[in-house]
Amino acid sequence: MARERVSVVGLSGAGISAESGINTFRDAGGLWEGYAVEEIATPDAWNRNPELVQKFYNQRRKAVLSSEPNSAHLALVELERYFDLTIITQNIDDLHERAGSSDVLHLHGQIRMAQSSLDASLIYPIEGSEIKMGQLCEHGSQLRPHVVWFGEAVPAMDRAIPIVERADILIVIGTSLVVYPAAGLLEFVSTGVDIFLSDIKQPEYRFSSSVQFFEGPATVGVRAIVDKLTARAQKV
């Protein structure tokens, strides 16, 4: 009888993409062309000035398209040889997919997709780097970025919670664990689960289980975690 594969969940944040040249959301002092990013990324901002919001995300999309997965993204792919790996990411880029990860859940949407401004269930791939004003969904409403804005629900949480509950091993990468509801996923980790944490500094979050912390950039920390886990798997 085949041995059941161990379930590993990777929870990734902005720190893993930063080394690919994608600025974190609050870089440049939290301002974009003189606007606070929290004012750009809200439904109210869209209602007030959709052209400005569209421009902001079109520029972010261009940055994603010009970036490449780094060695941390690539290292995670190696785990699929030995484990059932699911990536739950707070990032809206597609670097995990381009690196080769086969099971990725985006909590906050995907920058390379568009959605109807009236019906969030209508989602479309974007050709090129821009959503243009006047591009409409099948029911005639303006297309907007497929991104969860401040003040909006995070529907993917309903899928993420049972994934975390089933995890045998949790890897947390490049996140400060202060953004909710994403940080609340840690409350669903079962007792005794091995937790590995890679970040430039240890977050203040109080874990209920013991944590192996790897301080430094994701390209260093994730490589060390993957080496440790693959060595463990090869001994079994």
Average pLDDT on 7-27 reads 88
d(CA 201, CA 199): 5
DSSP secondary structure, 1-52, as one string: -PPPPPEEEEEE-HHHHHTTT---TTTGGGEETTEEHHHHSSHHHHHH-HHH
pLDDT bracket for residue 26 (50, 70, 90): low
Q: Which of 21, 30, 8 is nearest to 82 (CA)?
A: 8
pLDDT interval class at 32 (50, 70, 90): low
Rounded percentage of the chain residues whose pLDDT exceeds 90: 78
pTM of the model: 0.93
9, 169 in Cβ contact below 8 A? yes
Q: Decide if pLDDT at 150 tops 60.
A: yes
Q: How confident is the model at residue 36 (pLDDT cuts 50, 70, 90)?
A: confident
Domain 23-66+109-147 sits in CATH at 3.30.1600.10
Give CA–CA dist 124/114, Å, rounded. 5
| pLDDT computed for residue 42 by the predictor | 93
Note the pLDDT of residue 25: 60
Q: What are the residue boundaries of the structural domains of the chain, listed by start?
A: 1-22+69-108+154-236, 23-66+109-147
Is 94 within 8 Å of 105 (Cβ atoms)?
no
Does the fold of domain 23-66+109-147 match that of domain 1-22+69-108+154-236?
Answer: no
CB atoms < 10 A from the CB of 113, how many?
19
3-state secondary structure of 147: strand
Model confidence band, residue 1 (pLDDT cutoffs 50, 70, 90): very low
Cα–Cα distance measured from residue 31 to residue 50, given in angstroms and rounded to the nearest whole number: 18
Q: Which has the closest alpha carbon to 196: 4, 2, 10, 1? A: 10
Spot the catalytic one: 73, 96, 106, 108. Answer: 108
The CATH superfamily label for domain 1-22+69-108+154-236 reads TPP-binding domain (3.40.50.1220)
Quick: pLDDT tens for 186-235. Answer: 999 999 899 999 999 888 777 776 899 999 999 999 999 999 999 999 98
Residue 139 appears among annotated catalytic residues:
no
So what's the pLDDT on residue 30? 61
At a CB cut-off of 8 Å and minimum separation 6, what does 219 contact?
A: 19, 70, 71, 72
Lowest mean pLDDT among 34-38, 129-133, 188-192, 201-205: 34-38
Least confident of 13-27, 86-100, 111-125, 156-170: 13-27
- CA 73 from centre of chain: 12
Tens digits of residue pLDDT in 40-91: 899 999 999 999 999 999 999 999 999 999 999 999 999 999 999 999 999 9
